[in-house]
Amino acid sequence: MSVKKGFSLKKLAGVAAIAAAGLVLSACSGPTADNSNNSSPSSATVAAPNASGPLKVAVVTHGSAGDAFWNVVKNGAEQAGKDLNVGVDYFADGDPGNQARLIDNAVAQKVGGLVVSMANPQALQTSIQNAVKAGIPVVTINSGEDFSAQFGAIAHVGQSEGLAGQGAGQRLKAAGKTKLLCVIHEAGNIGQNQRCDGAKQTFGSVTTLQVDISNPTDAQARIRGALQSDPSIDAVLALNSQVAARAVAAAKEASSKAQVATFDLNADVVTAIKDGSILFAIDQQQYEQGYLPVVFLKLYKENGNTIGGGKPVQTGPGFVDKTNIDTVAPYAQRGTR
């Protein structure tokens, strides 16, 4: 979906209309998967479309280093930069204080737009509001949708975490499960608590377990211990694709009857859905969470457009299981799902 130098506002508005209609932009030709994810910038700058120079956008997320989920977000943002002649720099830090400082640095550099994930909204509030006061449009993504408009963002792109959790609970209950372990892997991440709370609303008996995604061996041991101590647990809901792989291994080690479901996709989850060791994955199409904000910021800067009417632009939840995994798998392989 290459955009040439003469890319028109009419065509750009068409891209946004497609997005608002819920069509999957990730079905367009996309990048190969990028396995890097850290706080150093990656540039997708293309030649300036006009004399004033290209729009510069900083993407600042709470992604942990090596997290496959955030690699796909990064791929989406960078591809949008290439397609739309926008300079995109991607930064990530899982510590809320460090993430706030990255936002402050982007404001000091007078970027033309900001894309921010808000796993810990309170820690980022001042930095985001300072960006808005400086005249920098902000689009929030992924987490913290309830605070987006309050902080002054022009749009939020993501899935409703509570609704996604409810959907997971409904599916697990329909599968005949009676006791669920919901594994939270990032302390203080508001979205993860919303997922588990949503599952409780539709499933019933839910226990939460806190693990640390940066220590996968310990995470696996903690899940195994929880399953061994309560053999009545017959379902595990992971909130991350990498944690899901650990949950599958833990259930085997514990000789547990528990079946695993997860949020998000990666190559391991694709394989596990095919072989039946994971029931389903909740796909929030995070490629769109990287791509669409760059589209929205370009439209806003060049034509004063906004989208969503104060409501989130939903990228999920979608459900991937054995019925549609063969369709989705090639996109996951190339780093766009």
- State percent of the chain over pLDDT 90: 77
Q: What is the pLDDT of residue 52?
A: 57
Q: Which helix H or strand E contains 209, and what residues bound it?
A: strand 206-210
Chain position carrying tokens 């408009």: 149
Residue 318 structure tokens: 């979608």
Q: Report whether pLDDT(41) > 60.
A: no
What contacts 24+ positions apart, CB below 8 Å, involve 302-308? 302/9, 302/12, 302/55, 303/9, 303/12, 303/13, 305/13, 305/16, 306/154, 306/155, 307/16, 307/19, 307/20, 307/155, 308/20, 308/155, 308/156
Binning pLDDT at 50, 70 and 90, where does residue 3 land?
A: very low
Q: Is residue 134 predicted with pLDDT exceeding 80?
A: yes
pLDDT at 36: 43
pLDDT at position 302 is 96
Residue 225: is its pLDDT beyond 80? yes
Average pLDDT over residues 284-295: 97
More confident of the two residues 37 and 106: 106
More confident residue, 6 or 94: 94
d(CA 223, CA 326): 29
- Flag the least confident range among 48-57, 69-78, 189-198: 48-57
User: How far from 281 is each of 101, 250, 320, 336, CA to CA, in Å?
Assistant: 33, 18, 5, 15
Which DSSP category does 280 fall into?
A: E
Beta strands 318-320 and 278-283, pairing class: antiparallel
pLDDT at 12: 52
Say if residue 47's pLDDT is above 50: no
- Reply yes or no on whether the pLDDT at 5 is more than 50: no
Q: What confidence category does residue 220 fall into, taking pLDDT thresholds of 50, 70 and 90?
A: very high
Mean of per-residue pLDDT scores for the chain: 87
Model confidence at 14, in pLDDT bands (50, 70, 90)? Answer: low
| pLDDT score at 204 | 93
As a whole number of angstroms, the distance between CA 161 and CA 165 comes to: 6
User: Quick one: pLDDT at residue 30?
Assistant: 38
Nearest to 312 by CA among 146, 182, 183: 146
155 falls in which pLDDT band (50, 70, 90)? very high
Q: Which residues contact 115 (CB under 8 A, 6 or more apart)?
A: 57, 58, 59, 60, 77, 138, 139, 140, 141, 290, 293, 294, 297
